[in-house]
Structure 1
Amino acid sequence: MHDSDSHLWEYEILRPPRDETKKEAANPKTEINELAADGWRLVETIDYSSGGTKYIVFERPRSDDGDI
């Protein structure tokens, strides 16, 4: 078992801002960097079937206090 396999994980979901045309309206770089500073790492993106990013998924090891 790898060391990372022994962690319990928590997840955070970021939904990129969209404008009225349903296109990504702004670069979410600031929000992504804020999450990274809090220990979150990018795991995956979930895209719309017609294109574009619907969600950005992050994970980090859950703290021992069990606070989710």
Structure 2
Amino acid sequence: MGGRQEPTRWEYETVRPPRGSTRKEATDPGAVLNERAADGWRFVDTIDYTGGGTKYLVFERPIRSDTDDSPTEAMS
């Protein structure tokens, strides 16, 4: 019963933030955040342009064991 628990495995997704009509400024990403959250994704960070501004929103979620794609299983 004192078995070791496997570490949590994570998957990541990047999404470009929604842009306004000028395509320069990001608009409120609330809808994108809520859509991803409904699918189990958690917002964790942004990847920004060198000169400023957000290029990508970064999300993570634990890999579900029923959809485990570990390389050792895929090679078997």
TM-score (norm 2): 0.69
Tell which structure's C-alpha radius of gyration is larger: 2
Of structures 1 and 2, the one with the larger relative CO (CA 8 A, separation 6+) is 1
Alpha-carbon deviations, 1:31-54, whole Å to 9, x = none?
111111111111111111111110
What stretches of structure 2 of length at least 5 have no aligned partner?
Answer: 70-76
| Closer, same or farther: CA 28–21 of 1 in aligned 2, 3 Å | closer
Task: Among all aligned residue pairs of Structure 1 and Structure 2, give the percentage whose two residues are the same amino acid.
Answer: 54
Q: Where does residue 23 of structure 1 map in the other structure?
A: 25
What stretches of structure 1 of length at least 5 have no aligned partner?
Answer: none
Q: Which runs of 4+ in 1 moved over 4 A?
A: none
- Amino acid aligned to 1:10: E
SS at match of 1:30: helix
Q: Where does residue 8 of structure 2 map in the other structure?
A: 7
- Amino acid aligned to 2:68: G
Task: Work out the number of aligned pairs and report it.
Answer: 63
Question: Take 2:51 and 2:44, find their aligned partners in 1: how far apart are those partners?
Answer: 21
CA RMSD of aligned residues (A): 2.0
TM-score (norm 1): 0.75
